[in-house]
Amino acid sequence: MTGTVFDIQRYSIHDGPGIRTIVFLKGCPLSCKWCSNPESQAYEPQVFYVKSKCIGCGLCERSCPNNEVKLTEDGLLIDWKAINASKDLSWVNVCPTGALGVKGEKMTAQEVFDIVMRDKVFYDQSGGGLTLSGGEPLVQSEFALELLKMLHDAGVNTAIETTGAVDKKVLLDVLPYTDLFLYDFKHWDNEIHKKYIGASNSHIKENLKMLAEKKANILVRVPVIPGVNDTEKFVSKVISELKEYGIDKLALLPFHQYGSGKYVSCGMTYEMQDFKPPAEDKIEELRKIISDAGFSNK
């Protein structure tokens, strides 16, 4: 069983308890305007270009089979539609500086398992383990399930960072092998959700409720976007709804623009340049509402 992996980060202390290895899988059914990993959205490996690394050697232009790239005085001119439709991106590897590269690698579950298991001693000492992230890792459902089973059987703590925008059966299949669901929820209002996320939230709510009814361990995480969902009213609404589901863990993820440069590198348009990170005192006010309601943030 193979999956498409675009990054593996070892020694992480975020996205779950203890020291963790985060495995990032490509593909996502949503299109959040503030996505910090735009390279995760496409399902297949894709080209990226970092202009500051380009030395203008022209190797890529001479190697590409269908004239997808042209060297200009201002760097590479890339036909993004054509290059990402290509079935063979092996020629991209001629770039000597890494200015041009490919995000996404086909790996077997065993290959990923072997990398994750290198740090088993740290997981045992810290209560850490594996976190599957993306994109939406569960769009690669069979690969994710196989990897989770392997690590669960090896005694490794497992977590999934999910949007919940997948078929209910997929969540039920991975449930026995998942110690923690990091369930990202963007907005409770369906119309606002459609505007900024590009899809309805109805099945996301249904899946969250289903997991809660199955007594899954769930930490709901809300990205805090100024002008979108950064009000006390919104947070209070989320708390009220989660209480009905029997969920008592809620964390806030303040908006940032750390991933904005990736959009240019992937030939995509970044639409959140006018949005600023929320003030720290604002975040603390919202977190106090959560803690006063008896919720944990872990």
Share of the chain above pLDDT 90, in %: 96
Residue-averaged pLDDT of the chain:
96
pLDDT of res. 84:
86
Instruction: Tokens 């925008």: give the residue.
Output: 165
Q: What is the structure's pLDDT at 295?
A: 97
In the chain, what are the domain boundaries? 2-25+108-257+274-293, 46-103
Predicted TM-score of the model (pTM) = 0.94
Whether the CB-CB separation of 119 and 107 falls below 8 Å is answered with no
Instruction: State how far the alpha carbon of 273 is from the alpha carbons of 33, 181, 204, 226, 267, in Å.
Output: 10, 30, 27, 12, 16
pLDDT band at 34 (very low <50, low <70, confident <90, very high): very high
> Under a CB-based contact definition with an 8 Å cutoff, are residues 56 and 38 in contact?
no
DSSP 117-146: HTTHHHHHHHT-EEEEESS-GGGSHHHHHH
CA contacts within 13 A on the Cβ side of 142: 4
Which residues does 89 contact at the CB level (< 8 Å), separation at least 6? 45, 47, 83, 102
At residue 210, the 3 state secondary structure works out as: helix
Average pLDDT, stretch 77-91?
92
For 135: left if phi > 0, alpha if psi spans -120 to 50, otherwise beta; the answer is left
Q: Which fold has domain 46-103?
A: Alpha-Beta Plaits (3.30.70)
pLDDT at 277 exceeding the cut of 90: yes
State the DSSP code for 175: G
Question: What are the tokens at 14?
Answer: 């975020």
pLDDT for 138-192, tens place per residue?
999 999 999 999 999 999 999 999 999 999 999 999 999 999 999 999 998 999 9
Per-residue pLDDT of 217-238, as tens digits, reads 999 999 999 999 999 999 999 9
Q: 232 phi and psi, to 5 degrees?
A: -65, -35
Domain 2-25+108-257+274-293: CATH superfamily is: Aldolase class I (3.20.20.70)
User: Closest by alpha carbon to 158, among 251, 40, 24, 21?
Assistant: 21
| Residue 104 Cα distances to 39, 114, 131, 147, 238, angstroms | 9, 18, 18, 17, 35
- DSSP character at residue 215: T
233 secondary structure, DSSP code: H
Is 281 strand, coil or helix? helix
pLDDT at 298: 85
